[in-house]
Amino acid sequence: MTLFETTILKKSGLTPDSGLASAASSRANIFNMSQAAEQAVLRPEDCGAFGHDLRAALAARVARQAGEDALADHYASAAGDKAGLADPGVSDADQGHILTFVDKVANQTRDVAAEDISGLQAAGVSDADVVRLCELVAFLAYQTRVIAGLRLMQGTAG
């Protein structure tokens, strides 16, 4: 994968011939580490209770809520039969507690309380899997902000 094929640079619209290409190239290590972090949170070797398809659906859902539709489509394409969960208007009887938690962590972070964690635990979600959910949401927060910032720097924010 080349630098300009990393998810962040692709979804920001930054290309090798853009005015920011030199700046991006000088920070290649950051974009490459970001791509490695994406791999780690979306397609880890140890998924815990959340398979790659569910992780992709959750990532698409968070990206869609952040207004990053191209990024959401990117993740939804890897969600398989879980792709419907990428729609923030969709709930699911089996995954409802997870969707509610992810939505709250992504959009009302300062309102997350101990009860939110204990609710997941009561639903059978392990502590390690709570951490995995939070890591996924935190990465998406980072990724969507970097993409938006790069678009602003290019004058292509929409």
- What local confidence, expressed as pLDDT, does residue 91 receive? 87
**What fold does the segment set 3-154 form as a domain?**
AhpD-like (1.20.1290)
Domains in the chain: boundaries: 3-154
DSSP state of 18: S
What mean pLDDT value characterizes the chain? 94
Q: What percent of the chain has pLDDT over 70?
A: 98
Q: Model's pTM, two decimal places? A: 0.94
69-117, pLDDT tens digit by residue? 999 999 999 999 999 999 999 988 788 999 999 999 999 999 999 999 9
Q: What percent of the chain has pLDDT over 90?
A: 90
- What local confidence, expressed as pLDDT, does residue 64 receive? 97
CA distance 120 to 127: 9
Where would I find the H helices in the chain? 7-12, 21-26, 28-42, 52-65, 69-76, 96-107, 114-122, 127-154
